[in-house]
Chains A and B, each alone.
Chain A
């Protein structure tokens, strides 16, 4: 009886995992096949002669290096901008009771739920009026704005958990508010700050719709857009596309696993409290 139960648990879980991981298998296998085998009908389960050739060729087929660089600049820029906004605001929300405080908090919570599609028409008009299409700035600023809600909630929570006495001691030693914030609070809330940075970085790295709308020149495309543009070609070189996708995904997965615990609680704030 017990054995049967354990057996069925593993079997069910095995089925679910198969469903969740099958795409990763396809991605890996396709990237190891040569072009001729990718186009064989029916396809093969395993490459006849696995090779890493696609991983070399993809850098020449598209400006992959450039795409990586663009994504890196945008994601880093967005992370810095988000932090610059969220640290002082998180501090204010954690430490001061002022009229409208909860209104600010809840408004921010609500913005987390808005679709980029709702704001994109106006942003497109404004950016094109100021000749800001095809710039890093356009994507840095929009990504930062959409990451801000989560970051603020995250940091406010972390700052609140730092005892007030620590801060008061620092102020007695002659630290200004800004110094206290940067030298005392930020290091003590390091896990929160790290989660915020990683969250924003991943959000910007994976972002698609703003890039699709604001970027038309190939030179400025981030990875997601650059890889998606493979699809528009006359023949889609799936082996190269899968190799590129794998390269683009691995760094994000590593980052993600580092902060995943905080993400779950941060995103579902409230769900797990009671």
Chain B
């Protein structure tokens, strides 16, 4: 009874649409998304045969892997710096949070302006330190790198805060014991800090991978997937199929693939979470 409102909401907005999308994935649709004819696995065959789709799948993997690696690296680095507890670190921590508090669509708009080839301030910064400016969003490789940078920028704060909380949770006595044994700073980091941070590390990277995989807003607003699909990732390509090209059946098949990938991430996450829970009891 008490669960009813929640279950209703989740069923209506999440469970039912997922099921309906699954069914649609096997149908031909008209321009407004209604199912007209059963086509079996046609959409999936079309995807498998489409070089553009395969390219996008590969790019999505690269996008997620690179972005999460960089977020983790800079996040951990930032957390370690903040953890030193030197004067001013409280203020620094507050400043580090800011990009996370920022609305993603607005952040994307802002970065689009920063990347502007002629009037943008990134090129101004580069020329003033003796480098040359680039047309960031006009060339495929650069546009991908530029969008990836924004993704990292938005993700570092969460990583830094989680790692900082993880570091703060390590009991001081463990370090003291290490010092008596004469462990050096680097040795202490590798053999003590890193293993103790492992649970934090695993959960934070999985969460971050899911969010990064889903970065519709950044790609849509900064490059629109362009130039020529060169920055499209799975979610933006799916969206284009549905709402620009009105290929709802094909898009539903892609949504099914997306769902399965996300489900795999979630299952790993739940499994790990469950294990932690068991260990804690």
Contact = CB atoms under 8 A, between A and B. Distances in A.
Interface of A: 6, 9-10, 12-13, 16-17, 19-24, 26-27, 29-30, 38-43, 45, 81, 84-86, 88-89, 91-93, 104, 106, 108-111, 113-126, 128, 141-142, 144-146, 148, 152, 205-206, 208-209, 212-213, 224-225, 227-228, 230-231, 238, 241-242, 245, 248-249, 252-253, 256-257, 260, 264-265, 267-274
B61 interface: no
Given A111-B10, A145-B14, A242-B113, A125 B103 contact: no
Interface centre among A85, A118, A124, by most chain B C-beta atoms within 10 angstroms, is A118
A268 B24 contact: no
Contact of B266 (A23, A110, A119, A128): A110
B278 to A, nearest CB: 10
Given A89-B5, A121-B251, A142-B13, A114 B259 contact: yes
Contacts of B272: 270
Contacts of B86: 6, 9-10
Contact of B166 (A148, A209, A245, A272): A272
Contacts of A260: 97, 101, 161
Interface of B: 1-3, 5-7, 9-10, 12-14, 16-18, 20-21, 24, 32-34, 74, 77-78, 81-82, 84, 86, 92, 94-114, 118-121, 123-125, 127, 153, 156-158, 161-162, 165-166, 169, 199-200, 202-204, 207, 210, 213-214, 216-217, 220-221, 235, 238-239, 242-243, 248, 251-252, 255, 258-259, 262-263, 265-267, 269-270, 272-274, 276-277, 279-280
Given A118-B21, A148-B10, A20 B81 contact: no
Give the dominant DSSP class at B's interface. helix
Contacts of A241: 109, 113
Contacts, number: 281
A226 B32 CA distance: 25
Nearest to B239: A117
A67 to B, nearest CB: 12
Contact of B13 (A119, A128, A267): A119
A117 to B, nearest CB: 5
